[in-house]
Amino acid sequence: MQRRALTGVLWDVGKDSMSMVGTDGHRLARISVPVEIDVDGKHSSIVPTKAINQIVRLAADAVEGGVQVKLASDHVIFRLDRTTLLTRLIEGPFPKYQDVIPKDNDKKVIVKRDVLGDALRRGPAYGRVDHVDESTPDEPLELGSGFDVRFGP
């Protein structure tokens, strides 16, 4: 596997679904949404993370309409409002991320988005969040890192 593939986002597009997967080697993020797109078969490309981040910023400032995407064999073009962004695709295989996602996980966690977001934003002040301790309905969820903060002697 080429290390460069890790610097991009795997973008899978089909007639009825679209998914994106990104990793930095430690964390993995995946989103899949139902869509209706006029494409033949399924297409997979690795788009540079910088280009995805730029499109997200531009789309947030867009006045009207959506984002038009034209995918070629070695590049992708994004158009919105009066802005066009062209970027080369990353060549090579993306890691087999499916292998690290448990297949038969029966655990489900429901948390308030703002509470979890606040905890995760505070985490970097003390170090990287590297584990989440299980909790029960009577105990709080605990986020932890390898960095131990102690005060006093």
In a domain, 91, yes or no: yes
Residues 93 and 121 in one domain: no
The contacts of residue 57 (CB under 8 Å, 6+ apart) are: none
Residues 72 and 137 in one domain: no
Residues 123 and 55 in one domain: no
Containing domain of residue 125, as a range?
A: 113-144
In a domain, 108, yes or no: no
What total number of domains does the chain contain? 2
Provide φ and ψ at 102, rounded to 5°.
-60, 135
In a domain, 79, yes or no: yes
Question: Quick check: 61 and 91 in contact, CB under 8 A?
Answer: no
Is this prediction's pTM over 0.75? no
Q: Which of 49, 40, 41 is nearest to 21 (CA)?
A: 49
Tens digit of pLDDT per residue, the chain (153 long)? 456 677 899 999 988 899 999 987 778 888 898 988 888 888 899 999 999 999 888 888 776 777 888 888 899 999 988 889 999 999 988 888 888 888 887 877 777 877 777 777 776 555 555 555 555 566 655 555 454 444 344
Question: Quick check: 30 and 97 in contact, CB under 8 A?
Answer: yes
